[in-house]
Structure 1
Amino acid sequence: MQLPRLSKLPKLAGIRNSQAKAGLPPGTLIFVGDKVSDKSQVDLIAYNEHEIEEYSSQNTEQIIGRLDKTKVNWVNIDGLHNVDLIEQIGEHFHLHPLLLEDVLNTEHRPKSEDYADHLFFVLKTLYNLTGDSITYEQISFVLGKNYLLSFQEKEGDIFDGFRNRLRQINNNKNRARKKGSDYLFYRLIDTVVDGYYSILEKVGERIEILEDEVYDNPSRATLKKIQQLKKELVFLRKSVYPLREALSKVTKGEYSFIKKDTLPFFSDVYDHTIHVIETVETYRDLVTGVMDMYMTSVSNRMNEVMKVLTVIATIFIPLTFIVGVYGMNFEYIPELSWKYGYFGTWGVMLLICIGMLMYFKRKKWL
C-alpha cells in the first residue's frame, strides 16, 4: 500500500533565511523566520503598587523616554522583522549582539542565558489548534533590574488577561503590582505554559476522534490525519523539552536577577512543564497505537476480502472441472445423449456449491 505524502514541514522560509546568514560574522542582525505581520510597535507598561501607566508607539525613542526607574517597566516589542527597531532597543539596554541575533532567529530552541546585567530567555508559545496544525510563535524575554523586555513576532498575544489584572489598582490580592520584574517574568512564562494545556486538550480530543474513525471507517484520509498529528507532536515535543532545561537553571538560583522569594513560583512552572512533557509522551504513544490500529484494521479488511475471494475461487474449482470434462470434444461421452443431462449437471453443481458453503460455515471460514 502506498502511503500518502506528508505535508511540507513548516517554516521552510526561515530555513532559507538561515542559509542567507552563511559566512556572515557572529552578531550580524538578520531576521530569520516568516514575516507574519507588517506592523511594528513598542508598548510600555510602567507600574508599581499604587499606579500604572501605559504607552504605545512605533517610535522607540518616545517609549525609551517614558521609562521610569522607580517602577517596573514592561516593554513589549511586536514585529521581529523590523531589525532597526530591535537594534535601537538593544543599544539603549546594552544588549549583546549575539543576544539580539538570537531574538531575530525565530528557529531557536527554548533556552536561558545569563549576561552581565540581564537574563535572556526564549521559548515557544502555542496559540490554538486550527485545522490540522498548531500555531507557534517564538517569544524572547530580557530580564533586567527593573525592566522586562518581551519580543514577539506579531501583534496580539496571550497576555491580555494578565494585563487586565495589572490594571486593577484597588485589588489587594494583586501580587504582581507589589513585586518586581522577576515576578512579572514568572507570570508571563506561567501564562505561556498554561496555554500548552489547552492545546494538549484539543490534541487529546483529536486522538479520540481518530480512534473512532479508525475503528469505524479507516481511509487514506484518516492515515494522513494521523501522520499530521504525529508531526505536530514532534514539534510540540521540541518546543517543550528544552524549556525544562531552561527553567531548571532558573529554579537552581543560578541567576542573580531572580529573587529567592520568587524561586518557588518558578519551581511550580517547572513542575507544570514536566507534566506537559509527560502528556506529550503519552499522546505520542497513543498516536502510535492509533497508527498500529489503522494498519491492523486495513490488514483485517484486506484479509476479509481475500477470504471471500478465496471461497469463491474454491467453489468454482470443482465446477470448472465438471464443465471442463463435459466440454471435451469426444464423441462417446456417456451422458451426452441423456435427455436430462443438462439439468442433471446443473443439479450436481448446485449441490456441490451448497455442500461447500455449509462446510465452510461449519468450519467458521465465513
Structure 2
Amino acid sequence: MSKPIRFKHKKKRYVLPEPGTTPGFIYIDGNSLKPKITLYSFSTEAIDVVQLTSLRDIANKTKDKDFSYWVEIKGLNSVELFNVFSEELKIHKLVLEDITRTYHRPKFEEYDGYNFAISRMLRLGEDSALENQQVSFIQTKNVLYTFQETYEDCLDAVRNRLKEGKGNIRLGGTGYLMYALMDMIVDAYFSVLNQWSEDMDELEDRLLSRPDKSVMYETQLVKRNLISMRRVVWPERDKMNDILRTDSDLISEQTKMFIKDAYDHCVQLMDMVESMKEIASSNIDMYLSIISNRMNEIMKVLTIISSIFIPLTFIAGIYGMNFSKQDPVTGKIMPNNMPELYQAHGYEYTLLVMAFIALVQIIFFWRKGWFK
C-alpha cells in the first residue's frame, strides 16, 4: 500500500514598499543573511577562488584583462555592500532596489556599460516544500556579479565545470557564464517537475484504488505549485527572448546560440506545466466523480431496501390497527371491521404474503439490473 505524499506549498511573505516610496530605495530586510562573497578569477589556463570580506577596491581586484571574474554574493544584509555598487561601480539605484526587493519576475535590462537580469530559482526543500528564490545578475565586460538570498542553491554543477575547465565556460567570458547559470536554474525546473510527475502518478494510483480526501488535498497542492511555476516559466521564456534580441556587445553571437537552447527548454517547460496542470484538474474532477458515483451506489442500495420494505410496512401497519370484528368484552359484532384478525393461521399467511411481495420486488430489480 502506497504511503500518502507529504509535501507543502511554502508561500513566502514579501515586504512591499509603502505607497509613495522614493524610486531606487534600497531595502535591507532585517531577517536576511549576512553576505558571503566569493571571487572566481578564471582564464583558459587557470582559476583562482578567493573568499572576500568586503567589496571595497573590487575594481582593482578585477582589472586584469586576461581574466574573467565571477563575484558570487550570497546574503543581502549589508548596506555597505550596496553602497559600493552605487558609489564605486556606478550601478543605478533602480537596479539595486530590484536586487533587494526579492519578489520580481524574471527579466533582462540593458544599461550603459552593463546588463541586468533576474531569474527565479525553484528548489524542493524540506518536506518537499517549493522554495522560490530570486537570483540577480549584473554583467559587465569582464565581471559577472550574482546575488542570492540564501546560501543554498542548485548551481554546484556550474561551479564544478568552472573549476575543472570543461566545455566553453572559461572561454565564453561573463556572457557565457551568465547563460550557464541561467540554464542551470532552468534545468532545475525539470527536476522539480519530474518529482511532481512521480507524485501525481502515485496520487492517481491511490485515486483508483482507495480514494479519500487526502488525495484531493494533495492534488490541489500540486496544482497550486504548478501555478507558481507557471508564473516563473512564462517570464523566463520572455527574458531569454529579450537576450536573443539584444544588441548589447556583452552578449556574443556564440553565446546567443546557446541561449536559443535555453529558450527551447523554457517552451518545453511551459508545455509540461500546462499538461500537468490539466492532469491535476482532471484528477480532482475524477475524485469528485468517484465520490459522487459512490454516493449514488449507496443511495441506490438504500432505495432498493426502502422499496422492498415500503409495501411490507404498509401491510404491517394495516394489521397493527387492531380493529376487531367482535368486541371481546360484550361480544357485540362490529360491522366493517377486520374479519382476519382472529382467522386461524393469519399470522403465517401474512408473513407468506409479505415474503412473496418482497421476492417479486427482488426479481423485478434484478431483471432491471439494479444489483449489478
Which of 192, 199, 210 is equivalent to 1:199?
A: 192
Comparing 221-230 with 335-344, greater Cα deviation is found at: 335-344
The answer (yes or no) to whether the contact 1:139–1:151 under 8 Å persists in 2 is: yes
* Alpha-carbon distance in 2 for matches of 1:242, 1:139: 14
Counterpart secondary structure, 2:164: coil
Who is 2:356 aligned against?
351
Structure 1 residues 246-288: Cα deviation after superposition (integer angstroms, max 9, x where no partner) = 1101112333310112110111110111111111111111111
* Alpha-carbon distance in 1 for matches of 2:349, 2:83: 98
Under a length normalisation based on structure 1, what TM-score does the superposition of the two structures give? Answer: 0.90
* Alpha-carbon distance in 2 for matches of 1:46, 1:92: 20
Does 2:235 match 1:242? yes
The answer (yes or no) to whether the contact 2:39–2:51 under 8 Å persists in 1 is: yes
Deviation at 1:122, TM superposition (A): 0.4
Who is 2:12 aligned against?
11
Distance change (3 Å), C-alpha of 1:255 and 1:348: farther
Counterpart secondary structure, 1:335: coil
Distance change (3 Å), C-alpha of 1:31 and 1:280: farther
Comparing 308-317 with 124-133, greater Cα deviation is found at: 124-133
* Alpha-carbon distance in 2 for matches of 1:96, 1:253: 20
Does 2:232 match 1:212? no
Who is 2:24 aligned against?
27
Counterpart secondary structure, 1:24: coil
Which of 31, 34, 47 is equivalent to 1:52?
A: 47
Q: Greater CA radius of gyration, 1 or 2?
A: 2
Who is 1:74 aligned against?
70
Does 2:361 match 1:365? no
* Alpha-carbon distance in 1 for matches of 2:269, 2:322: 80
Who is 2:4 aligned against?
none
The answer (yes or no) to whether the contact 1:46–1:68 under 8 Å persists in 2 is: no
Cα RMSD of the aligned pairs, angstroms, is: 2.0
* Residues 217-236 of structure 1 mapped to structure 2, 5 A cutoff: 217-236=210-229
* Residues 236-275 of structure 1 mapped to structure 2, 5 A cutoff: 236-275=229-268
Counterpart secondary structure, 1:258: coil
Which letter does structure 2 place at the counterpart of 1:140? S
Structure 1 residues without counterparts, runs of 5 or longer: 1-6
Distance change (3 Å), C-alpha of 1:339 and 1:132: farther
Which letter does structure 2 place at the counterpart of 1:47? F
Counterpart secondary structure, 2:146: strand
Which of 91, 94, 107 is equivalent to 1:95?
A: 91
Under a length normalisation based on structure 2, what TM-score does the superposition of the two structures give? Answer: 0.89
Which of 301, 306, 318 is equivalent to 2:299?
A: 306
* Alpha-carbon distance in 2 for matches of 1:355, 1:130: 63
Deviation at 1:139, TM superposition (A): 0.5
Distance change (3 Å), C-alpha of 1:56 and 1:21: farther
Which letter does structure 1 place at the counterpart of 2:177? L
Who is 1:152 aligned against?
148
Which letter does structure 1 place at the counterpart of 2:341? L
Structure number with higher helix proportion: 1
Distance change (3 Å), C-alpha of 1:67 and 1:21: farther
